[in-house]
Every structure is written in C-alpha cells, then in structure tokens.
Amino acid sequence: MQAQLTAKDIACRRGERLLFKGLSLACEAGDALHVAGANGVGKSSLIRILAGLLRPFTGEISTTGDIGLIDERLALDANQPLGRALAFWERLDGCSDSGRAFDLLQLDELLDIPVRYLSTGQKKRAALARLLNRNCPIWLLDEPLNGLDAQAQASVEALVAQHCAGGGIAVVASHQAIALPGGRTLAIEDFAA
C-alpha cells in the first residue's frame, strides 16, 4: 500500500489564539515537505496534528501508513545507557538489525553512556536511529537540525532523501533552511489567522 498523508482545511487553536486556518496539504509516496515559519507560528502544532496527537480545531487528517515522529522530546530513559534505552523501542518495533542505523549515525561509541550525559546533537542522532529502526513510511520531523553540527545536518538531509527515494513521506518543520528532495515548502505564515 502506498503511503499517503493529506490534511484538509486545518485550523489550529492553542488556548485562546487561533494560530492558523485553512491549511491544506497532500503528500504522496516519495514526497518531502518543508514546513517553514518563525518561532511560535504553529510548526510544532501542525506536526502534532498530523501525527494525530493533537486535535485540529477544524478540518481533517487522513493517513495511510505508520507514522514516525521526532520532536524535542526524546522519550528515552535519562538514567539508562543509550543502548538499553533504545533497545526498549527496538523490541516494541520488532527491529532485529539496529547496527546499520547506529553505523550511519555514528552512535556505536555512545551506546554505553547514560542518556542524560549526551549532548543535544547526540540525543537528536539517537532519536533518528530509533526512527530508522522503526522502518515506517511517514516521517514527521520537528526541528530535526537543532543542535546538530554541519556534518550531522548533511547526513539528516541524506537520510530524508534516501527515505523519500524509497517511497517514504517526510514532513520536516524547521526554521532553518534544509535541502529536501523536490524542494517543496509550506510557509505557515501564509495561513495565519
């Protein structure tokens, strides 16, 4: 089954404020979309709405395929060594070959270090490894470049390109420029209420 992600006429309200309205998007297999905008315009809210974690104020979302999410929250146990913290998710995701993702993201040397000692960039790479190991068609990435050095940023762009080339979908919210296949951009400011 082909992966698919569509949002129709979405509005998002946080508290008393309407952040955006009338936002529609459609992604087919192989599409990448850069959600751009300044801080506070609703990029993260849009990602969480697409993930089904937040109810849109109006509008509908429909997806075909499993969703993988990376946001600023790591969901790894801070006191456990990285290898063990990731192993829990590998067991849940039924992943038997985690070595490739660790290689790609240069995590091998960090596996024995407790998560709380990792730097921001290292934590981000750990979250990416979990995403890769899950092997799901729809990627929702919220500020994936935060805290990454130039080399790691390039490898994120390469991973997204590879994912889309393999028939995946990637929606990337980022206030920084990011090179995505197809170069589609959605500026949330255009839909500001």
Partner 1 sequence: MSAAITLLRRDLGLLLPGGSGGGGVLPLLFFLAVAMLYPFAVGPDAQLLARTGGGVIWVAALLAAILPLEKLVASDLEAGVFDQLHLRGISEELAMMVRLAAHWLAFAPLLLLATLPAAALLGLTGETTRTVLLGLMAGTPGLAAVGLAVAALTAAMRGGAALAGLMVIPLAVPILIFGAGALGRPDPSALLLTASISLGLVALAPFAAAAAIRAARET
Which stretches of the chain bind partner 1, using CB under 8 A? 48, 51-55, 66-69, 71, 73-80, 88-89, 91-93
DSSP line for 58-123: EEEEEEES-EEEE-S---S-TTSBHHHHHHHHHHHHT----HHHHHHTT-GGGTTSBGGGS-HHHH
Q: Which residues is 32 bridged to in the sheet? A: 170
> Measured from the CB atom, is 112 or 190 closer to partner 1?
112
Q: CA gyration radius for the chain?
A: 17
The C-alpha atoms of residue 147 and residue 134 are separated, in whole angstroms, by: 23
Q: CB 184 → partner 1: shortest distance, Å?
A: 23
CA atoms within 13 A on the CB side of 188: 24
Q: CB 10 → partner 1: shortest distance, Å?
A: 16
> Measured from the CB atom, is 21 or 77 closer to partner 1?
77
Rounded to the nearest 5 degrees, what angle is found at the Cα of 5, between the Cα atoms of 36 and 158? 55
> Measured from the CB atom, is 95 or 161 closer to partner 1?
95
Q: CB 80 → partner 1: shortest distance, Å?
A: 7
Q: CB 177 → partner 1: shortest distance, Å?
A: 26
Q: CB 79 → partner 1: shortest distance, Å?
A: 4
> Measured from the CB atom, is 67 or 160 closer to partner 1?
67
> Measured from the CB atom, is 68 or 168 closer to partner 1?
68
Return the structure tokens found at 20: 């955006």
